Structure 1
Amino acid sequence: MKICVYGAGAIGAYMGGRLAQAGADVSFVARGPHLAAMQANGVRLVTEEDTRVVHVRCTSDASELGPQDYVIIALKAHSVPGVIEAMQPLLGPQSAVVTAVNGIPYWYFHRHGGEFAGAKLQSIDPGGAQWDRLGPERAIGCVLYPAAEIVEPGVVRHVYGNKFPLGEPSGEQTERIVKLQEAMVAAGFDAPIRDNIRDEIWLKLWGNLCFNPISALTHATLDIIASNPATRAVSRSMMLEAKSIAERFGVRFRVDVERRIDGAGAVGAHKTSMLQDLEQGRPMEIDPLLTVVQEMGRLVGQATPIIDAVLALIKLREQTAQQTRTGHAAQPSRAATAEPPREAVRAA
């Protein structure tokens, strides 16, 4: 089984390293000092149990690797559109694309059924490039619950969690997803196959939607956001708006809002990925977590006043951070005005 992890940062290198330890033929596409360190010394995986060095083929050029059985996209979701063409050498006729990204994936409406079947979401897939070039038929959903961090180039520390739910857009138990699950389980992961992976995607997104931008705006950790009455109330309002939208598309939430907030608070003094990105001068993952929910709300005529307000604030925060980094005033984007695309582009 040939598996390429495209974007072998913290979580990607953790997944890929464990898969390689279990015997899979794994390769990494990465960049910068982290790539150089892994090429020279392997990837060092630090867990509570032990520290192990795993040697995996690493490159910045996917054309060196050839077609894969599975391409695990472990990039931040907003980075994917910029590397679609670079991924093409990895894709053969039978290659599966495993979207191990936060937020709503490009294939969301593939084999969805109903009025919006085949719709392309412009906020996460401008012009339908991922849909057209990666292909929704290749997609397997994967929801990320663990957390990991790059302690130094080539060294990845597992922070918490071991669960990676998987699912076909159709809900079927295909041969390819069963084989992927077997590889994940052999690597020590909890990888249940869901017959409706979209429910799992929304459950994870439900928290990311509010906790991430609130943390970036306030610099507060999860325990504080969940326990402070004001930020808890904002979180609740955003989640209820999102719940109304998701349910219009057939999603079922297996926990209620209060339990979801309490679960986030129980993680403790954890900085969200959006806050970490802000502090480290990286682009924040805004469109896959907020703008897309706004867009989906417009598709069904659902107002999102609280999401709109928080989206406008976090977009402006991103622009002012960019201005600080570059010394130039950033131009407001379309998304910064909280005006969403009016409709999704249908698949041909």
Structure 2
Amino acid sequence: MEIKSVAVLGAGAVGSYVIWGLSGVKNIELGVVAEGERAKRLKEKGCTINHTVYHPHVWTPQEAYGVDLLVVSLKYGALPGALESIREAVGENTIVMSLMNGVDSEEMISTVIPKANIMYSLIKVASHKEEDGYCFDPETTIGIIFGELEAPYESERVRAIEELFADTGIHFRHTDYIREEMWSKFRLNVCNNLPQAILGAGVGCYRDSIHMKAISEGLRQELEAVAAAKGIDISKAAASSSHGSAVPPFARYSTLQDLDAGRHTEIDMFSGALIRMGKESGIPTPYNEYTYHMIKALEEKNDGLFDYEGKTEESTWSK
């Protein structure tokens, strides 16, 4: 098996890393899946990554049909609307890698394509948006982690992806514990991404505040209880996932970046999904329920729901 064509669905913070890495590979076709105004903009302006403009092909889902590898790198809220595009792009032998956050995007994608096409995967990249595009540090980026759910773990598909990424600048590794690694990253997002977003402060808050540590710990205990109920032993990923790229204390993770920019967050994929799984397993998740509703309220604040200045509506009485 050899991967000769790659399509990227979602050319944002995550998709930019893949486009950056594969743009220099001469013996593959690389394209971005897009339609309408977005396709027109990509054709005209390309993708600016680390202050360099790249011009991958721009394909409709139908034009991308049958690519050897489809990388899905969308925001969680965009996935339901993109499922038809995924279905139209995937051929019999297409490998699909979802580099989205969370632990249930593969489940959603498998409602429209065979589960056998999916290569479970995750990405760790600290991208941020600047005026001219997305930026990241290639050297400190941990990169893409992927693997088969069951043996043989060093499958033909795994070897083909390794050969594709070799000598591209993309950091990568395959693992025999991909589900545990995905849950390990899920834990990082829930416990470190979310409390910071509510506080509106840099990641140094976990070092400097016992109260932030307590909130993070409460979220962690709930997540690990749900994982254990699902038969997932996150400790299997501990050796390979315990290290990460260093970040300064003022760094702001993706959920806070979304709130800062007035965007809706991926809270449904984080605490929202964990609350649902907790109910299915009979495990209470009060820390996640509070966190979920707080971030939803912050989204409403960004939407202007609480802009009462100058309004002449009937008074609200406190009791």
State how far apart, in whole Å, the 1-side matches of 2:176 and 2:237 are: 18
Distance in 2 of aligned mates of 1:300 and 1:264 = 34
What's the RMSD between the two structures over aligned residues?
Answer: 2.9
Relative to the length of structure 2, the TM-score reads 0.83
Q: Tell me what 1:232 maps to.
A: 213
Match of 1:164 among 144, 157, 161: 144
SS at match of 2:62: helix
Aligned residue identity for 2:216: S
Alignment correspondent of 2:99: 100
Identity of aligned residues (%): 22
Counterpart CA distance in 2 for 1:325 and 1:100 is 35
> Which residue does 2:232 correspond to in 1?
250
Letter in 2 for 1:11: V
2:32 is aligned with 1:28 = yes
Tell me the residue number matched to 2:311: none
Q: CA deviation at 1:138?
A: 1.4
Larger CA Rg, structure 1 vs 2 = 2
CA distance in 2 between counterparts of 1:319 and 1:230 reads 25
CA deviations on 1:266-304 (whole Å, 9 max, x unpaired) are 553211111111122222101211121122222222222
The CA distance in 1 between the partners of 2:248 and 2:149, in whole Å, is 30
Partner Cα distance (1:102, 1:191) in 2: 17
Deviations 1:179-211 (A, max 9, x none): 112212331222111112011111111111132
In structure 2, do the counterparts of structure 1 residues 216 and 30 end up closer, same or farther at CA, with 3 Å as the change threshold? Answer: farther
Q: Is the 8 A contact 1:225 1:265 kept in 2?
A: no
- d(CA) in 2 for partners of 1:39 and 1:186? 27
Matched, 1:212 2:190: no
Question: Once structures 1 and 2 are overlaid, which stretch shifts more, 306-315 or 318-327?
Answer: 318-327
Q: For the residues of structure 1 that align with 2:85 and 2:38, how far apart are their CA atoms? A: 19
Give the secondary structure class of the aligned counterpart of 1:285. coil
Paired residue type of 1:167: G
Q: CA deviation at 1:311?
A: 1.6
Give CA-to-partner distance per residue, 1:24-78, whole Å, 9 cap, x none.
Answer: 31101257987656423543432xxxx654331125x322333211110000123
Could you say which residue in structure 1 is the equivalent of 2:180?
199
Structure 1's unaligned 5+ residue stretches are: 109-124, 328-348
User: Aligned pair 1:75/2:74, yes or no?
Assistant: yes
CA distance, structure 1, for counterparts of residue 245 and residue 216 of structure 2: 11
> Which amino acid in 1 is paired with 2:89?
L
1:275 to 1:193, Cα distance in 2 relative to 1, 3 A: same
**SS at the partner of 1:132?**
coil
Flag the 1:226–1:263 CA change in 2: closer, same or farther, 3 A.
Answer: farther
Q: Partners of 1:100 and 1:253 in 2: how far apart?
A: 22
Alignment-derived partner of residue 292 in structure 2: 311
Cα displacement string for residues 237-256 of structure 1 (whole angstroms, at most 9, x for unaligned residues): 11122112212323232588
- 2:49 maps to what in 1? 45
CA distance in 2, matches of 1:271, 1:32: 32
Letter in 1 for 2:101: N
Which AA in structure 2 matches 1:103?
Answer: G
- Distance in 2 between the 1:202 and 1:169 partners? 13
Aligned to 1:135: 114
Aligned to 1:65: 64
What is the aligned residue count? Answer: 298
Residues of 2 paired with 1:5 and 1:166: CA distance? Answer: 16
How do 1:104-123 and structure 2 match up within 5 A? 104-107=103-106
Contact map agreement 1:209 1:290 (CA 8 A) in 2: yes
- With normalisation by structure 1, the TM-score equals 0.76
User: Which deviates more from structure 2 when the two are superposed, residues 214-223 or residues 29-38?
Assistant: 29-38
Q: Which runs of 5+ in 2 are unaligned?
A: 309-319
